Every structure is written in structure tokens, then in C-alpha cells.
A and B are shown apart, each in its own frame.
Chain A
Amino acid sequence: MNRYYVIAALAFCIVIGAIWFFRSGDRDARQINRRLDELVETVEKRGNQSSLRQMTQSQAVPGFFSADATIRMAPLYASTLGRRETAQTLYLIHNNVDRLTVRVRDRRLDINHEEGTAEMRITLTGGIHQGGRRESYVHTFQLNWIKEDRDWFIRQVELVQAIRPPGAGPAEW
């Protein structure tokens, strides 16, 4: 009987150790991943959200970006946006859809600790719910981060086309 408890304790320790090992990575990486998760939560819209909450959410968006941030979503959205325009666009989107879900499926992060910059590639999936219809999407983005005052901010967002459409020129993959 005692042997069972020893084995169970050993297995428990292995599991805890594995969790600790995988979670205790680079501190900057943890911070960037946390910031991204917070941004995703801010961008999402759950059903029956009050307009006050929508406004609060969109006002929180600029806080994730550096002052000189550029957001390029071509060909989905032609213009290059700054952080304020992004917040306004998000507010408009939230006003026009019933629900917006965002899920980060894959993320690849490369941090340059000396320069205080990081490059991240993410794939997002989700759905836009409007009037009983759901349109699903999958997009890949390149995010460039910069460290300012011990915190990480997004400096550039660019939509990456994993499949290069005909006539789009050489691949940048």
C-alpha cells in the first residue's frame, strides 16, 4: 500500500516539475505572450456587450501599441492605421457585429534582448457572428514588439499571406 503512495507522489512530482519547466521560460517571452492574450481579450466581443464596455475596450487598445505603431492589414483593409485609428476601427466593428471571437492557434517568437525588440508570427482563427450568420476566418500576422520602460508594446502589425496569390510577386516567407 505504501508503495502505491510513493509512486503516486513521484508521478505527481514529475507532472508538477514538467509544468514548472514548461512555464518558467524567458521572462520577456512570458510578458509578451501575456500582453498578446490581453489584447486578444480586448479585441473579442462577446454577445450582449454594453456600449460602455465596448467603448472601454476600444479605449484600452492604444495601450498595447507604441506611439509610432503602424498596422497594415492589406489586402483585407487598404489603409495603414495608427493605434488611435485601430481603436476607432475596433469600436466600429464591435458596433456592427453580434459576436467576434479570436483564438491564437500558433505563435512563434524571436526576442532580441540586447536591442529590446521581438518578432512574433501568429495565426489567428475565429468567427464573426452577425444576424444569425457566422463567417469563420484564419489569418497570419507578423508582430514587431519593442520594450519601453520595462514593458512590451507592439510597434508594427502586418498581415502575412501564407499562400501567395497569383501576380503578388516573390514570396517573403
Chain B
Amino acid sequence: MHRAEVAKRNVVRDTIRVEAPTDQQAKARGANWLLIFLIGRHPVRTLIRAGLLAAFCIVIFRHALLPVVVSGDSMYPAYRNGQLGFANGLAYARAEPQRGDVVVIEMTGRSAMYLKRVLALPGDEVRFSNGALLVNGQVVNEPYIEVNGTWTTASETLGPHDYFVAGDNRSGPWQWHAMGVVDRDQIAGRILF
């Protein structure tokens, strides 16, 4: 057969291949495309991947990277109402909280927690005198405070597992604020940003 004739036949055959599909075929193709988009070409693999991803997210966001939404102004100006952030849930797995750390404190669970700054460590003697923070009798410089306030509290000597925490917003009497002593076990992590 002549070469040009063969080429012509192929063109004709290819033309037949790309014939417009019927409505039914188009619908079936659409459904297939949707299934592939949703569960991939290998559904078992997709299912395994989805399961692993879900397990990874649960572990990460429940124990390591705790999502935080700030509610209230007790940590103003460092953290404002409505601000989003993350806390490192593993920050104190091998280390102890330090003065100045902003930590999340568990109440019953991890859905609602306090956000406070660590001011004094186990064994410290701590008190406020007319707005100034005194740890072991020394006035502590607190550059993160915008309004010092006039807090005066009784002296507190912390036990071996106690930490003294307070918010950065010192406006109003201290009795209006959640501040004071927490147990080491209540500190769930350190704020990242």
C-alpha cells in the first residue's frame, strides 16, 4: 500500500476515535472524574493516607502544637483579645518553666485554659507592693507591662511544685484578676506566637 494512503487512513481512524461522546458517556466520565478527585486512583492508598494524616493531626494539635484563641485582655498589650496563636505542648517535657515565660494553664482540660506569665519559681518568696513585683525581696523589672497598677498582695513563699503567674494587664484591683499560684502539672505549655 502506498505510504500516503496509509497516512490518510490513520487520520480517518483517529478522527473516528475523537468522536463526540453521548450525554450518558459524558455523565459517566464526569462521575469518574469526581470519584478520582475525591478518593484518588487508588482508594485503599487514599484511605490509609487520610487515616495517617488524621492521626498525625490529632497527635500534633492535642499534644505538641496547641491552637490558642485569646479571649479577654488580661495579657494586654502582649496578647490581645481575639488573637490567634499556638502553644508548644512539649516545651516543658524536659525543661522547667522560667521567669517571663508566657504559659497556658489547664483548668479541667485543654479546651479552655488560662494564658499567664510566670513571675516566680518554686522556692521563691513573691509579692506585689504598690504595683511593683518583688521576688525574694528584689524589685523585678517588667518591660512587658504597659500599666503597672497599684497591686499590693500578701507575701507568698512558693512550694517545690508551685509557680506564681499573673497577666500583663495590671489595671484594676488584683482581686478582679486570675493571678496567683499554680501547680507544675497545670502548666500545659509555652506560648510560641
Any chain B CB within 8 A of the CB of A7? yes
In the complex formed, the residue of B with least CB distance to A7 is B43
The segment from B7-15, B92-100, B108-116 that touches chain A is B108-116
Contact A162 B72 (CB under 8 A): no
B59 interface residue, CB < 8 Å from A? no
Q: Answer whether A166 and B154 are a contact pair too, CB < 8 Å, given A108-B109, A125-B71.
A: yes
A123 and B183 contact, CB distance less than 8 A:
no
Residue of A nearest to B31 (CB): A1
Name which of B18-26, B60-68, B140-148, B172-180 contacts chain A. B172-180
**Contact across chains for A106 and B110 when beta carbons are under 8 A apart:** yes
Chain A 121-173 interface residues, beta-carbon cutoff 8 Å to B:
121-123, 125, 136, 138, 140, 161-168, 171, 173
Flag if B39 contacts A4 (CB, 8 Å). Answer: yes
A166 and B162 alpha carbons, distance in the complex (Å): 12
**Contact at B39–A162, with CB atoms within 8 Å?**
no
Query: Any chain A CB within 8 A of the CB of B153?
Result: yes
Query: Would you call A171 and B181 a contact (CB within 8 A)?
Result: yes
* Contact of B105 with A by CB under 8 A: yes
Interface size counted on chain A using CB atoms at 8 A: 29
Question: B residues within 8 A CB of A173?
Answer: 183, 185-186
CB within 8 Å of B: which A108-123 residues: 108, 121-123
B43, A123: Cβ atoms closer than 8 Å: no
Contact A106 B165, CB 8 Å, known A163-B114, A166-B154, A168-B180: no
Are A163 and B109 in contact (CB-based, < 8 A)? no
Does residue B182 face the partner (Cβ distance < 8 Å to A)? yes
A122 to chain B: which residues have CB within 8 Å?
108
What CA separation (Å) do A3 and B40 show in the bound complex?
12
| A165 and B175 form a contact (CB under 8 A) | yes
A166 to chain B, nearest CB (A): 4
User: Does B47 reach chain A (CB closer than 8 Å)?
Assistant: yes
B35 at the interface (CB under 8 A from A): yes
Q: Is the CB of A166 within 8 A of B39?
A: no
CB of B72 within 8 A of CB of A136, answer yes
Give 4 closest A-B pairs by Cβ, nearest first. Answer: A106-B109, A106-B108, A167-B154, A105-B112
Chain A residues in contact with chain B, CB under 8 A?
1, 3-4, 7-8, 10-11, 75, 105-108, 121-123, 125, 136, 138, 140, 161-168, 171, 173
6 additional A-B pairs beyond A4-B39, A165-B174, beta carbons within 8 Å, are A3-B43, A105-B109, A106-B109, A108-B108, A123-B107, A166-B153
